[in-house]
Chains A and B, each alone.
Chain A
Amino acid sequence: MTVNRQTIEELAELAKISISETTIDGVSGHLDDMLQLLGQLQTINTEGIQPMAHPLETQQLLRSDIVAEPNNREALLATAPLTAEGLFLVPKVID
């Protein structure tokens, strides 16, 4: 199967990544090669096999539902590229 330009553009939209015009052919060639590699999985009979989502088949640790972490609002906001009045800033989304 061949991954065409439209598929790449759809994937880029799903993944929210801009793909430059100069690299689009390379990306499409790579996806073709990858789908060929991943297609090898179809040769294996997996009828009745339970999907394995995780290597651990034990119960996850749970902790009591009590507040344990201090409020690090200032420290966490300090890593953001743009903030104001204790909030993350993004371009206007509502007119």
Chain B
Amino acid sequence: MHQFTIAEIIRGLKNKQFSSMEITRHLLTRITQLDSHYNSFITVTAEQALAEAASADKRLAEGGAPSMCGVPIAHKDIFCTTAVRTSCGSKMLDNFVPPYDASVVASFKHCGSISLGKTNMDEFAMGSSNENSHYGATINPWGNNRVPGGSSGGSAAAVAARLLPGATASDTGGSIRQPAALTNTTGLKPTYGRISRWGMVAFASSLDQAGPLARNAEDVAHMLSVMAGADVRDSTCLNRPSQDYTLGLNKSVNGLKIGVPKEYFSAGLHPEIAVRIEAALKEYVKLGAELIEISLPHTAMAVPTYYVIASAEASTNLSRFDGVRYGYRCNNPTNLRDLYKRSRGEAFGEEVKRRILIGSYVLSAGYYDAYYKKAQQVRRLIKQDFVDAFKRVDVIMGPTTPTPAFALGEKNADPIAMYLQDIYTIAASLSGLPGMSVPCGLVNGLPVGLQIIGNYLDEARMLNLAHQYQQVTDWHQAEAATPAPAA
């Protein structure tokens, strides 16, 4: 049963081949048996999931239920969930039980989807390996000593291990796409503002965007249809209703123009990944698309621009964690300043502290123009590269990551080497453009992701392209070896 995709579960529930209760129980058992190995969950909400499954089965029996009714998923632990601890991977929020649901969570509840729990992540979504979690690293099902990527590594590993068919995730600089690439899953970061950020713990507000992570493009389309849409509680959310993203999946891609940025194939890209990406592009040519070489000249500036802007916004956003209103509070503070400094010093992990300090530096008097304003100007140049490219092409394709999954601990000593993992994903985030990662092969037994970058609000076309590729290839069906259940 755990082999079913979301689309298969929807059909199975509709045809009464199995009930939501049956599949929910099956997946919960599987999580109990296997997740001590993967550590992809921070919290499993078995009791609540079974209660939700019972109501979903009732709704399904009555008829007219939304398509995602009864489908089990899980939420990245960055989304607030009523009465369920929302840690954001941090000691700071280890005891935080929100009194409300994030809009994304509420949308799935409204449809009758089942939440199996909350998935592991890098602390406050800062990381590319999931090793920065207060709850321990998540293991990539594709290799016991390999990272699943981050920061949505728990969601990605859980899908790859077939613990669930899909999970919510979030992406600030690549946190959906990079883990999807490293775990052979399909993940989409929509256009900035397509999905409400209300109730999603803020990291960098001008970049953060929620999105779905699942086995294939069709399943991602099912999830996105639930997640997208306007929300009066998030004033940066686009004022557009959701749409059924599954409707356009079968369109022909004949005649579409695919831009291939030459900068995405330069030094630093693993040569075997380049081979897999080129093979994927050839599949698109066979489907009738045309490849056009393009240039995104400011590509090399994406990483430094991002680390100024994201760190500045993080230092501001994370100032809310002060030991007063929620979260961790140090013991016996001598005064208010001591309460702030020690609560934050004791509860934030090293990477989070580093980014807050960098953010404070670039925003401080005397450095603001040289770093923050400069980065905002370069951000516009990066966006303009894409605007120019989209005058000539319909979509852009290239690698999602420069390397396959690296070993646990490999990049811990050198945070900047870790930052370069996101070299191909960050530019779309800075520009607010939608980006997606689709499985396109293996290198030494480890998955490779093809990145699709679309124009603003062109998610339907990206999903169509990904789905058509998945009709003629079977990389997305390749499965990681399942470990022996823990004794």
Contact = CB atoms under 8 A, between A and B. Distances in A.
Are A and B bound to each other? yes
Interface of A: 8, 11-12, 14-20, 23, 27, 30-31, 33-35, 37-42, 44, 46, 49-56, 58, 60-63, 72, 75-76, 78-82, 88, 90-93
Given A61-B232, A91-B336, A79 B326 contact: yes
A17 B232 contact: no
Interface string B355-384: 011111110100000110111111111010
A19 B342 CA distance: 9
A53 B376 contact: yes
Interface string B328-356: 11000111111111101110101001101
Contact of A55 (B232, B360, B370, B430): B430
A18 B376 contact: no
A78 B431 CA distance: 39
B154 interface: no
Contacts of B136: none
Contacts of A14: 360, 364
Given A52-B377, A60-B235, 5 more contacts: A17-B357, A18-B342, A37-B419, A51-B377, A52-B379
A16 B316 CA distance: 12
B96 interface: yes
Contact of A41 (B235, B357, B371): B371
B111 to A, nearest CB: 23
B422 to A, nearest CB: 13
Contacts of A88: 324-325
Contacts of A31: 354, 357-358, 361
A92 B97 CA distance: 27
Given A42-B374, A56-B192, A90-B339, A34 B301 contact: no
Contacts of A33: 415-416
9 contacts: A33-B415, A37-B419, A40-B301, A41-B301, A49-B380, A49-B381, A52-B377, A53-B206, A90-B336
A82 B354 CA distance: 28
A17 B348 contact: yes
Contacts of B383: 52, 55
Contacts of A50: 377, 380
Interface stretch (B4-12, B218-226, B304-312, B403-411): B304-312
A8 B358 CA distance: 10
Given A41-B305, A44-B301, A51 B376 contact: yes
A-B complex: 6 closest residue pairs judged by Cβ atoms: A55-B432, A18-B345, A51-B376, A75-B99, A46-B377, A81-B329
Interface in B402-443: 415-416, 419, 430-432
B370 A11 contact: no
Interface string B89-100: 000000011111
